[in-house]
Amino acid sequence: MISQPSCASPTMDGPKLKEVSVKLPKNFDRPDEPWTHYFTIDLLWTTLGYTLFHPFITWVICLCLRAQYTPYGAPEMRIAVAWAMAMSMIGIFNIFSERIAFGRPREVDLAEEVIVITGGVDGLGGLLAETYGMRNANVAVLDTKKVSDDEAEEKGVLYYECDVSDPKQVEAAVAEIVEDLGPPTILINNAGIVQAKPILDSTAEEVEQTFRTNTFSHFTTLRTFLPHMIQERRGTIVTVASVLGHVGAANLASYAASKAALIALHQSLRSELAQNPDADEIKTILVTPGQMGTEMFAGLKTPSNFLAPVVTPAEIAKDILRLIEKGESGEVAVPLYSKYIQILNVLPVGVQALVRRWSGLDTAVARSGMMKGAPKNK
């Protein structure tokens, strides 16, 4: 921690500049990784999406061939034109598909929005809160962890000490937020905990605690915040679930089950909002990330860094921010496998068993040492 000294001289008149605490990145704490560590299927897929799979680029290739006087009947020209037409049709289909599914985007002006983030002191929620705080947005965080007034002022965020699993605390916090900032219009349901234990070793109290924090809290916040959005006739609701909600995992039964419930809750919420004429401008975003590089899953390793890289909160936050600020509904699923993991459930059961065995999905928690210690928060 270093302090930036004031540039004003003690003998000069006028107020001194505010001293700002700066925490420099600790690059030296990170081990040096070979370049192959950063070469993943996600990077490859993104690169292809901006090149060979991009309609504009594919038509540019056709123009380049014509610039070389390639005849229209030449095999390479026919292949290039056919590929460009296929990419264009897929792109147009995706545009219409998203419009049918999610409707038209709403206008978003951060100065007019009130953003509420549960579990927003650290991790993914903390990053989102600090990002919006730096942009002078109206941000309120609900979390059980305390934050000093000086830190809150420095980040530009209002923190409310609140256990989101307690409906009374949430209702009291919402009343304060409405008085301090105004009616909430963006809700990011991010709070969550994980208890890594076999089913037979889990107590009823531990399972209930996981569901109260990970699942029941979403019902509470929706019942409390959604009426304000309907009254304002605009809003965005972000549901942070997990890829484990699609596949489950040994020793994470309560966590996976609570996240699976969120995926179903999100679909039900979308259906109910579609039937409410006053909710036409209320957008929904489902987040199903793979393994994040946070304290929550510290020590857990994926079987293949190429196929299943560990994602940073910044990568997920970037996509969430993009959808929120474009006023769109949608889904955030990173890395790439989390977007298509549902295909696993329609494969023959023997293939599913082989994939789970090869991936180490059901042995990763036991190897990581996560089952030692207290529950971890996001």
CA neighbor of 365 nearest in space, from 272, 299, 310: 299
Confidence category of residue 361, pLDDT binned at 50, 70, 90: confident
Confidence category of residue 272, pLDDT binned at 50, 70, 90: very high
pLDDT for 253: 95
Which of the two residues, 24 and 300, has the higher pLDDT score? 300
CA neighbor of 118 nearest in space, from 146, 159, 84: 159
Statement: residue 326 has pLDDT above 60: yes
Give the dihedral of Cα atoms 56, 59, 65, 71; nearest 10 deg.
-170
pLDDT for 19: 54
Confidence category of residue 302, pLDDT binned at 50, 70, 90: confident
**Percentage of the chain lying above the pLDDT 70 cut:** 90
Highest mean pLDDT among 47-51, 366-370, 373-377: 47-51
Q: Decide if 245 contacts 260 (C-beta within 8 A).
A: yes
CA neighbor of 222 nearest in space, from 288, 289, 273, 157: 273
pLDDT for 222: 97
pLDDT for 378: 65
Which of the two residues, 257 and 296, has the higher pLDDT score? 257
pLDDT for 61: 96
Beta bridge partners of 139: 115
**Percentage of the chain lying above the pLDDT 90 cut:** 76
pLDDT for 170: 96
pLDDT for 15: 47
Statement: residue 288 has pLDDT above 90: yes
Average pLDDT over residues 45-56: 95
What are 135-147's pLDDT values in tens digits? 999 999 999 999 9
Confidence category of residue 213, pLDDT binned at 50, 70, 90: very high
Q: Decide if 62 contacts 77 (C-beta within 8 A).
A: yes
Which pTM was predicted?
A: 0.87
What are 59-92's pLDDT values in tens digits? 999 999 999 999 999 999 999 999 999 999 999 9
What's the whole-number average pLDDT of the chain?
89
SS3 for the chain is CEEECCCCCCCCCCCCCCCEEECCCCHHHCCCCCHHHHCCHHHHHHHHHCCCCCHHHHHHHHHHHHHCCCCCCCHHHHHHHHHHHHHHHHHHHHHHHHHHHHCCCCCCCHHHCEEEEECCCCHHHHHHHHHHHHCCCEEEEEECCCCCHHHHHHHCCEEEECCCCCHHHHHHHHHHHHHHCCCCCEEEECCCEECCECHHHCCHHHHHHHHHHHHHHHHHHHHHHHHHHHHHCCEEEEEECCCHHHHCCCCEHHHHHHHHHHHHHHHHHHHHHHCCHHHCCEEEEEECCCCECCHHHCCCCCCCCCCCCCECHHHHHHHHHHHHHHCCCEEECCCHHHHHHHHHHHCCHHHHHHHHHHHCCCCHHHHHCCCCCCCEEC
Confidence category of residue 374, pLDDT binned at 50, 70, 90: low
CA separation (Å) from 31 to 23, 35, 208, 209?
20, 12, 39, 36
Q: Decide if 158 contacts 152 (C-beta within 8 A).
A: yes
**What is the set of domains in the chain, with CATH numbers?**
40-94 (no CATH), 110-377 (3.40.50.720)
Which of the two residues, 39 and 298, has the higher pLDDT score? 39
Which of the two residues, 296 and 371, has the higher pLDDT score? 296
Give the tokens for residue 175: 């009343």
Which of the two residues, 291 and 301, has the higher pLDDT score? 291
Which of the two residues, 345 and 236, has the higher pLDDT score? 236
Give the dihedral of Cα atoms 265, 266, 271, 274; nearest 10 deg.
140
Give the tokens for residue 303: 């079987």
pLDDT for 13: 52
